[in-house]
Amino acid sequence: MNTHYTYFLILAAAIAGPFTLSFDKKVGFYKKWKYLFPAMIIPALVYIAWDIYFTSKGVWSFNENYITGKKLVNLPVEEVLFFLVVPYCCVFIYECIRCYFPNLKNRRAADILLQVLAIVLMITGIFFYKKYYTSWTFVSCSVFIAVIYGCRKFFKNFDAASFLVAFAIILIPFLIVNGFLTAIPVVLYNNAENLNIRIYTIPFEDVFYGMLLVMMDIAFYEKMGSRGSLTSIK
């Protein structure tokens, strides 16, 4: 049995639903592609560079039995696609939340929660500075939250309440996809570089690695002006 398309098939299965539902009349996500695709560029480039570096340092590696073998530097092409497929799916879920629940309350509480999280992540990341995955992920997530609030005029459309609700939902498919990738395993982690705390087979750091990726995509997506088209949706 040929298993070399395993990673690719996992990604294809992940995007199938969100892509098909992008043409739903109420959400009309396909109309937002003009905002989405440019917004995905910077986060994807940042994460690809990060991934290349961590792979070279042995923070993680990829099981050759479950990838096609085509690579960008030292990254499987599937890993590059991950930074396009996952953001597409996650921003789709976020857009559904914004469309069906446009007036979420407790926005101030959501802002405070994100800011407190940033402080906790920064302290934890510094404390575990010798663990590459833990420190880089926690500190980077903390810094980007600080950037959002420090540059509020630039990220004025970022809604913490909608983001947190969406991310709580996003965690379910995100953990399922990562669960397959780590259980098979397609991706292999060096436990010396993380806290060795697992959610099933998934490193705890993956939650905030994913949070930062999604937050960056959504922040830039909103910056591109996606909210302008929501006013016409009833």
Q: For position 227, what pLDDT does the model report?
A: 58
* pLDDT value of residue 106: 81
Q: Per-residue pLDDT tens for 127-140?
A: 999 999 999 999 99
Q: Whole-angstrom Cα distance, residue 198 to residue 205?
A: 9
In this prediction, residue 229 carries a pLDDT of 42
| 22/27 Cα distance (integer angstroms) | 7
pTM of the predicted protein model: 0.93
What integer pLDDT is reported at residue 103 of this predicted model?
81
Give the model's pLDDT for residue 79. 98
Given this model, what pLDDT does residue 226 score?
A: 57
CA distance 73 to 9: 22
Instruction: List per-block mean pLDDT (blocks of 10 residues) for the chain, which spans 234 residues.
Output: 93 97 92 96 98 98 97 97 97 93 85 98 98 98 98 93 95 95 97 97 98 98 70 36
